[in-house]
Amino acid sequence: MPESDTLTTAKPPFDVDKIRADFPVLSQKVNGKPLVYLDNAATTQKPRRVIDKVQQFDSEEYGTVRRGSYKLSEQATRMFEDVRQKVADLFGAADKKEIIFTSGTTQAINLVAHSFGKQFVKEGDEIIISNIEHHANTVPWQVLCEEKGAHLKVIPVNDRGELIMEEYEKLLSPRTRMVAVNHISNALGTINPVKEIARLAHAAGAKVLIDGAQSTAHMKLDVQDLDCDFYTFSGHKMYAPSGVGGLYGKYDLLKEMPPYVTGGDMIRQVTLEKTLYADPPARFEAGTPPITQVMGLGEAIDYLQEIGFDKIAEYEHALLEYGTRVLSEIDGLTIIGTAAHKASILSFNIDVIHPHDMVTLLDQDGISARGGHHCAQPTMKRFQVTATTRASASFYNKFEELDALAASVRRAIKLFS
Name the site residues for other proteins (rule: CB under 8 A).
353-357, 360-361, 364, 371-373, 386-387, 411, 414-416
The distance of closest approach from Cβ of residue 386 to other proteins in the complex, given in angstroms and rounded to an integer, is 3
* CB distance 357 to 347 below 8 Å: no
The distance of closest approach from Cβ of residue 28 to other proteins in the complex, given in angstroms and rounded to an integer, is 19
3-class SS at 243?
Answer: coil
CB closer to other proteins out of 333 and 358: 358
CB closer to other proteins out of 202 and 411: 411
Of 192, 225, 223, 228, whose CA–CA distance to 207 is shortest? 228
Of 148, 194, 193, whose CA–CA distance to 175 is shortest? 148
CB closer to other proteins out of 241 and 372: 372
CB closer to other proteins out of 72 and 415: 415
Q: Which residues contact 204 (CB under 8 A, 6 or more apart)?
A: 172, 173, 174, 176
Could you give the strand order of the β-sheet that contains 345-350, starting from the edge strand earlier in sequence? 333-336, 345-350, 388-392, 370-372
Q: What is the dihedral of CA 247, 248, 251, 254, to 10 degrees?
A: -30
* CB distance 240 to 57 below 8 Å: no
| 252 backbone dihedrals φ, ψ, rounded to 5° | -60, -30
The reply to whether 228 belongs to the active site is: no
The distance of closest approach from Cβ of residue 385 to other proteins in the complex, given in angstroms and rounded to an integer, is 9
Distance CA 139, CA 8 (A): 41
Choose, from 375, 377, 385, 416, the residue flagged as catalytic: 375
Distance CA 335, CA 409 (A): 13
CB closer to other proteins out of 10 and 42: 42
Q: How far apart, in Å, do the first and last CA atoms of the chain sit? A: 27
The distance of closest approach from Cβ of residue 62 to other proteins in the complex, given in angstroms and rounded to an integer, is 35
The distance of closest approach from Cβ of residue 376 to other proteins in the complex, given in angstroms and rounded to an integer, is 13
What's the DSSP call for residue 103? S
Angle between helices 139-148 and 105-120 (to 10 degrees): 20
The distance of closest approach from Cβ of residue 189 to other proteins in the complex, given in angstroms and rounded to an integer, is 21
CB closer to other proteins out of 232 and 388: 388
Q: Which residues contact 201 (CB under 8 A, 6 or more apart)?
A: 128, 172, 176, 179, 207, 208
Residues carrying an active site annotation: 375
